[in-house]
């Protein structure tokens, strides 16, 4: 049986990546800093995944174990025996796990281990594995880097599955997790050195198209739905997307990002519109009970130059495509109060150039928006909810 070492034993790690690895015939060792989760994995060696769509099913994942991330010797010992290393820790945590993976590769090099190892970062970040590889290489010697270039494959990926917090009953394990029925894990096959043997992965030689389709359609619209819902006092994503005003506005955002994707990647228009409708139905899944607060958190990261709002805005500018709805979405995000903390707009409204200074901090360049964009954005921020007036479509059934 093949073995995988997965960094990140949270809901996404267990419910999404861990489930696919299990179905692909892998024995998975989870590494995490959370002692409660690791202790439970070591003791129970199994957990259940509740999959919710039009129906609900409960499936069991067996043969799992856990290691605390700071237990270096145990990590290296397991790392010498695995075929695959995956992550689901969040982009900002990748630099912190890179030294551990570097030590695993260093020991494999020292042992002259002529067996392929594949590393895949499963993060909401474009070319996350490339970023992780660069961090890992910064901890390796030249000899170890040469070994890695021959025996270690670093494959970029795109991942898509909604994994909300789960309300557990008294008889459910802390390891049990709920996921939506839909999932997509796409891997750049041109970067692989061997067949992973996992049929649920989509292997492609055009990963950028998949990454941008997911980022601009799922992630952008998910965030917009959360911010608009919070603006109207709604609690969940399902409630938000079933509000006619929000639904119509999200469709406007999808129309803009869809035009960008069709122009950039020559997507078939009808097929892409069907994908957009599938996303809308996913948001309306009442079983998920995904909160607007959870989806909307970390506004500053979501405003990043390569993230779900400003990456498509940059392309829209270059392609001369309207981005007025995306800019309204930005105004919703900047109006979002995260866990009762002041919104970004409340914090930067004064001084007069506070907004430009904030974007300079986030992007390193306040000129990511034009002077006219800033004028329009300030107008929108004064009354953000007004942008939803007149937007009405039927609820999703």
- Binding-site members are 4-15
The residue behind tokens 């989870």 is 30
Q: Are 66 and 30 in contact (CB under 8 A)?
A: yes
Q: Are residues 87 and 148 in the same domain?
A: yes
Say yes or no to pLDDT of 322 above 60: yes
Give the pLDDT score at 186. 98
Q: Are residues 199 and 222 in the same domain?
A: no
- Taking the C-alpha atoms of residue 73 and residue 103, their distance in angstroms, rounded to an integer, is 10
**CATH code of the domain in which 242 resides:** 1.10.1040.10
Instruction: Tell me the average pLDDT across 132-151.
Output: 99
What domain range is 47 assigned to?
A: 2-205
Q: Are residues 257 and 327 in the same domain?
A: yes
Q: Are residues 200 and 216 in the same domain?
A: no
Instruction: Tell me the average pLDDT across 3-16.
Output: 98
Report if residue 298 sits inside a domain: yes
From 145, 170, 205, the end of a domain falls on: 205
Instruction: Tell me the average pLDDT across 121-126.
Output: 90
Report if residue 136 sits inside a domain: yes
DSSP-derived pairing of the beta strands 157-160 and 152-154: unpaired
Q: Are residues 39 and 156 in the same domain?
A: yes
Tokens of 354: 């506070």
Q: For 284-385, where are the alpha helices, taking DSSP H only?
A: 292-296, 299-302, 310-319, 324-334, 344-348, 354-363, 371-382
Q: Are residues 192 and 214 in the same domain?
A: no
Report if residue 16 sits inside a domain: yes
**CATH code of the domain in which 46 resides:** 3.40.50.720
Instruction: Tell me the average pLDDT across 103-122.
Output: 98
Q: Are residues 369 and 235 in the same domain?
A: yes
Give the pLDDT score at 130. 98
Q: Are residues 64 and 150 in the same domain?
A: yes
- Binding-site members for NAD(+) are 4-15
How many structural domains does the chain have? 2
Q: Are 27 and 3 in contact (CB under 8 A)?
A: yes
pLDDT band at 217 (very low <50, low <70, confident <90, very high): very high
């Amino acid at each position: 049986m093949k073995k995988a070492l997965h960094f990140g034993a949270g809901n996404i790690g267990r419910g999404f990546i861990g489930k696919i690895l299990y179905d692909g015939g892998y024995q998975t060792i989870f590494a995490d800093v959370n002692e409660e989760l690791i202790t439970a994995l070591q003791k129970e060696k199994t957990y259940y995944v509740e999959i919710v769509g039009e129906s609900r099913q409960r499936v069991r994942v067996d043969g799992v174990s856990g290691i605390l991330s700071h237990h270096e010797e145990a990590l290296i010992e397991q790392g010498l025996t695995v075929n695959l290393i995956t992550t689901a820790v969040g982009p900002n945590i990748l630099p912190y796990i890179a030294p551990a993976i570097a030590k695993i590769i260093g020991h494999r090099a020292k042992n002259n281990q002529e067996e392929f190892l594949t590393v895949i970062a499963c993060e909401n970040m474009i070319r996350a594995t490339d970023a992780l590889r660069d961090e890992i290489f910064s901890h390796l010697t030249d000899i170890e880097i040469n070994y890695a270039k021959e025996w270690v494959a670093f494959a970029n990926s795109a991942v898509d599955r909604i994994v909300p917090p789960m309300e557990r009953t008294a008889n459910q394990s802390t390891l049990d997790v709920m996921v939506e029925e839909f999932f997509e894990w796409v891997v750049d096959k041109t970067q692989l050195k061997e067949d992973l043997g996992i049929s649920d992965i989509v292997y492609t030689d055009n990963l950028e198209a998949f990454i941008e389709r997911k980022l601009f359609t799922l992630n952008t619209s998910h965030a917009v739905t959360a911010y608009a819902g919070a603006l109207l006092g709604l609690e969940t994503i399902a409630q938000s997307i079933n509000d006619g005003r929000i639904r119509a506005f999200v469709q406007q955002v999808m129309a803009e990002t869809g035009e960008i994707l069709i122009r950039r990647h020559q997507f078939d228009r009808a097929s892409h519109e069907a994908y957009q409708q599938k996303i809308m139905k996913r948001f309306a899944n009442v079983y998920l009970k995904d909160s607007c607060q959870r989806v909307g958190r970390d506004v500053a990261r979501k405003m990043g130059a390569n993230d779900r709002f400003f990456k498509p805005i940059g392309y829209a500018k270059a392609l001369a495509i309207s981005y007025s709805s995306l800019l309204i979405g930005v105004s919703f995000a900047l109006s979002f109060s995260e866990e009762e903390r002041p919104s970004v707009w409340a914090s930067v409204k004064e001084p007069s150039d506070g907004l430009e200074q904030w974007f300079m901090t986030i992007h390193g360049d306040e000129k990511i928006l034009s002077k006219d964009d800033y004028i329009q954005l300030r107008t929108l921020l004064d009354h953000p909810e007004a942008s939803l007036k007149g937007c009405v479509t039927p609820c999703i059934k």
